[in-house]
Amino acid sequence: MFNGHPPYSLFHLFLLPLSTLVLSLIASCDRPACHNTNIALDKYPADTKGYKEELIKQFEKLDKSKLTYWLANYREDNTSKYLTANVQGDGLCALIDLRVNDSVKGIERILKTKGIGYIGAELEDLNFEIKQNSGSTEFVFRNISGISD
């Protein structure tokens, strides 16, 4: 029976669908779960030469088109800026530290906010350079095509 009041309240017509939409958007921003199965990557901390060399070996074996990168951290020291990303796909689940040099193509907003608001975002089509010498191994950021929040 109608009794002068609509059968649905504001909650049913507006707030319930809106809250469902917000929850689904929050859930969709998270990267897929992955678990490292590489014993060598577990053996070293991510910022060591041994870890980086093992990561390079993995990159050489894998189909790079199946890898995705998700921003895990942004940090600065006295001389450089760094992005840390979760890299995963094709059986790989690891971290990669990228030094930001001259090229900032695609990450201007991340640098401006010092990563705030972008942790967990996908770094689309990440390109980086590998620099190695006898004493160190370094991953240097080149560019990304976009950011998926």
Residue 17 lies in a domain: no
Query: Higher model confidence: residue 12 or residue 137?
Result: 137
**Percent of all residues in the chain with a pLDDT value above 90, rounded to a whole number:** 66
Q: Is residue 56 included in any domain, yes or no?
A: yes
How many domains are there within the chain? 1
Q: Using one digit for the tens of pLDDT, what is the confidence trace for 74-102?
A: 999 999 999 999 999 988 999 999 999 98
Q: Which domain holds residue 46?
A: 39-148
110 is a domain residue? yes
- Report strand pairing: 137-143 vs 146-148: unpaired
Measured between alpha carbons, how far is 43 from 23 in angstroms, rounded to an integer?
A: 37
Distance from C-alpha of 91 to C-alpha of 46, rounded to nearest angstrom: 18
Residue-wise pLDDT for 107-122, tens only, equals 999 999 999 999 999 9
Q: What is the pLDDT of residues 2-30, one digit of tens each?
A: 566 556 655 455 544 544 433 333 444 57
Q: What is the mean pLDDT of residues 32-44?
A: 87
Q: For residue 121, what is the domain's CATH number?
A: 2.40.50
DSSP, collapsed to helix, strand or coil, labels residue 102 as coil
